[in-house]
Amino acid sequence: MALREIGRIERTLFIIEWLLDADMQRRAQVGLNKGEAHHALKNALRIGRQGEIRDRTAEGQHYHMAGPNQLAAIIIY
């Protein structure tokens, strides 16, 4: 019970800090935007089966998932 209350206090203090610190909000938004842009790029790169994985082998699934990630990394670089 006491640990739960300590957690609530910590969360409240973090929310107050978040609301008062515009730089913290801006850094978080930059990180979110990067993640969303990367996801959008990988969606745009999907071809063929629209992202469906039909191979039942672990190796085939790995190659299917690694392809768009590598292509996205090359484009970003």
* pLDDT > 90: percent of the chain: 42
- The answer to whether residue 50 scores a pLDDT higher than 80 is no
| pLDDT one-digit tens code per residue, 17-35 | 999 999 999 999 999 999 8
Q: At 71, which amino acid appears?
A: L
Cα separation, 25 vs 16, whole angstroms? 12
What pTM did the predictor assign? 0.55
Average pLDDT over residues 51-67: 73
What are the structure tokens assigned to 52, written together?
């469906």
What pLDDT shows up at residue 27? 93
